[in-house]
Amino acid sequence: MFGNHSGTKEKMRIIIVGCGRVGATIVEQLSKEGNDITIIDKDAEVVSSLTNLYDVLGVVGNGATYSVQMEAGIRNANLFIAVTESDELNLLCCTVAKRVSNCSAIARVRTPEYSQEASYLKEKLGLAMIINPDLEASKEIAQILALPSALEVNSFAHGQAELIKYKVPADSMLNDLAIMNLGKTVSQQVLICAIEREGEVYIPSGNFVIKEGDIITFVATRKQARKFFIALGTKVKRVHNTMIIGGGKTSQYLAEQLLLAGINVKIIEKKKKRCEELSALLPKAIIINGDGTNEDLLREEGIETIESFVPLTGIDEENIMLTMYARQVSKAKVITKINHINFKKVINSLDLGSVIYPRYLTSEAIVAYARAKKDSLGSNIETLYHLFDSRVEAIEFVVRPDSKVINIPLMELSLKKNLLIAFINRSGSIIIPTGQDCICSGDTVMIVTTHTGFNDINDILE
């Protein structure tokens, strides 16, 4: 075994099998939260580099074998996460773990055939969660294409509320506007909860003045978000057509969702065999067999007039170049998928439109689950997202009857600094709160904060 653990406080004991991109991201996020983590991977170098980077233990071996799981401490584990490259291996790892231990198990499953049977697999194998990074990425892209002015759209309250990221253009009426005047000039049904300016992130108060180039994150219902964008004079119409480069799993999932929404889809894919498969799977889409990085082909297929453009090749550099090219020759809404995150500063400085990181989407869901589970009284975290490179957290809590925040007007609560109550969801209706509003038992409440590691709604109090 590699590595070391410190501290005696009651912690979650977590085993992670598979230390590829997603595995490493989960280790990074969960070790920040002070859990006891043991990683398993066949590659000794990978294990030793992660145990050197983080306070985790490492076991080299096949995570699906009983002996390796025993060495990793499966009997006492609370949570078991299998995110190797192989779906079958992940399902087998979880099955072995569930036989030996009373832990919760999460498997990464990417094959579309298995994904259609996710609920069956989950129930029969007793899994807490089946996560599919390609499907999550495609959902996120589809959400953004439904609201093209947004850079990013995250759903809360089972889709009733949305957290939307938007870059303020030079000619915007938001320019030089103090947040407290937003209701008078634009909309009262929108709450701005975080602002990034020149790399700094602020949780703004009412007298914060918005400037051109700021990236604002606001919360609203989908309907109110559309009204807000209409008031600002920006595009709200969903796109009618899209061009996707690359015919991988994410492209397939995305095309399925867009076609259902009545959006025309054109996919350009190099491999002839894959084109034939896609034609059979997606009879309503146009599938072109060709090199999507070829300028002449792109022009021939109409890149200059397309309304949205999504490069989903397996190569980040290609995706970035394609986005830059599309921005030059068209007015299309572009979304860039990036798998490696080594040059984040450089990537952030390029004007790439909306950027999607599938491994973060996967780790996000797993971290939310782990943190909710850590709360021994039973979970009260519904949803969790990290914003602005994990410097801000948006968390949706379920409010229990014994909570210290209920039935007190918000203005009378002594809240921690750098924290904002973004909305109250009361039986499906979304309240953008004022100081007079109270939180009631049974509500779900979303907070946005630069603090990390909140497990419970009571954590918002001083």
For 243-252, write each residue's pLDDT tens digit: 999 999 999 9
Residues facing 196 on adjacent strands: 201, 215
Confidence of residue 8 (pLDDT cuts 50, 70, 90): very low
- Token digits of residue 208: 């914060």
Phi first, then psi, for residue 413 (nearest 5°) are -80, 135
For 140-187, write each residue's pLDDT tens digit: 999 999 888 899 998 887 788 899 999 999 889 999 999 999 888 887
Confidence of residue 412 (pLDDT cuts 50, 70, 90): very high
> Can you tell me the distance from the alpha carbon of 429 to that of 431, in angstroms, rounded to the nearest whole number?
7
Q: Per the domain annotation, does 260 fall within a domain?
A: yes
Q: Per the domain annotation, does 300 fall within a domain?
A: yes
Closest to 307 in 3D by CA, of 246, 269, 266 = 266
Same domain as 373, residue 348? no
SS (H, E, C) 380-448: CEEEEEEECCCCEEEEEEECCCCCCCECCEHHHCCECCCEEEEEEEECCEEECCCCCCEECCCCEEEEE
Confidence of residue 390 (pLDDT cuts 50, 70, 90): confident
Q: What is the pTM of this model?
A: 0.84
Kindly state the DSSP code that residue 62 receives in the 8-state scheme: -
Same domain as 369, residue 432? yes
* DSSP strand pairing (191-197 vs 200-202): antiparallel
Q: What percent of the chain has pLDDT over 90?
A: 63
CATH of the domain at 433: 3.30.70.1450
Among 250-264, 335-349, 427-441, where is mean pLDDT lowest? 335-349
> Can you tell me the distance from the alpha carbon of 324 to that of 292, in angstroms, rounded to the nearest whole number?
14
- DSSP letters for 290-342: S-TT-HHHHHHTTTTT-SEEEE--S-HHHHHHHHHHHHHH---EEEEE----T
Crossing angle, helix 272-281 and helix 249-260, to 10 degrees?
30
Task: Examine the pLDDT at 376 and tell me if it is beyond 60.
Answer: no
Kindly state the DSSP code that residue 208 receives in the 8-state scheme: P
Q: Per the domain annotation, does 174 fall within a domain?
A: no
74 and 80 Cβ atoms separated by less than 8 Å: yes
Q: Per the domain annotation, does 80 fall within a domain?
A: yes
Distance of CA 137 to the CA centre of its chain: 8
- Token digits of residue 169: 């253009």
Same domain as 377, residue 339? no
Residues facing 59 on adjacent strands: 40
Same domain as 366, residue 333? no
Same domain as 298, residue 366? no
Query: Which amino acid is residue 282, in one-letter code?
Result: L
Q: Per the domain annotation, does 120 fall within a domain?
A: yes
> Can you tell me the distance from the alpha carbon of 226 to that of 213, in angstroms, rounded to the nearest whole number?
21
Same domain as 301, residue 249? yes
> If you search the block for the tokens 């996919």, which residue do you land on?
267
* Domain closes at, from 326, 341, 356: 356
Same domain as 16, residue 126? yes
- Section 51-59 average pLDDT: 96
Q: Per the domain annotation, does 112 fall within a domain?
A: yes
Same domain as 411, residue 317? no
Q: Per the domain annotation, does 311 fall within a domain?
A: yes
CATH of the domain at 275: 3.40.50.720
Q: Per the domain annotation, does 161 fall within a domain?
A: no
pLDDT at position 69 is: 97
Same domain as 366, residue 352? no
Closest to 327 in 3D by CA, of 345, 311, 346 = 311
- Section 27-34 average pLDDT: 87
pLDDT at position 256 is: 96
For 284-318, write each residue's pLDDT tens digit: 999 999 999 999 999 999 999 999 999 999 899 99
Same domain as 291, residue 368? no
Structural domain including 302 reads 241-356
pLDDT at position 341 is: 64
- Token digits of residue 230: 């209409």
Helix (H) or strand (E) holding 194: strand 191-197
> If you search the block for the tokens 């996020």, which residue do you land on?
29
* Domain closes at, from 100, 131, 162: 131
Same domain as 21, residue 106? yes
Same domain as 447, residue 400? yes
Confidence of residue 9 (pLDDT cuts 50, 70, 90): very low
For 228-271, write each residue's pLDDT tens digit: 999 888 877 889 999 999 999 999 999 999 999 999 999 999 99
Counting the structural domains of the chain, the total is 3
* Domain closes at, from 86, 112, 131: 131
Query: Which amino acid is residue 53, in one-letter code?
Result: L
pLDDT at position 375 is: 58
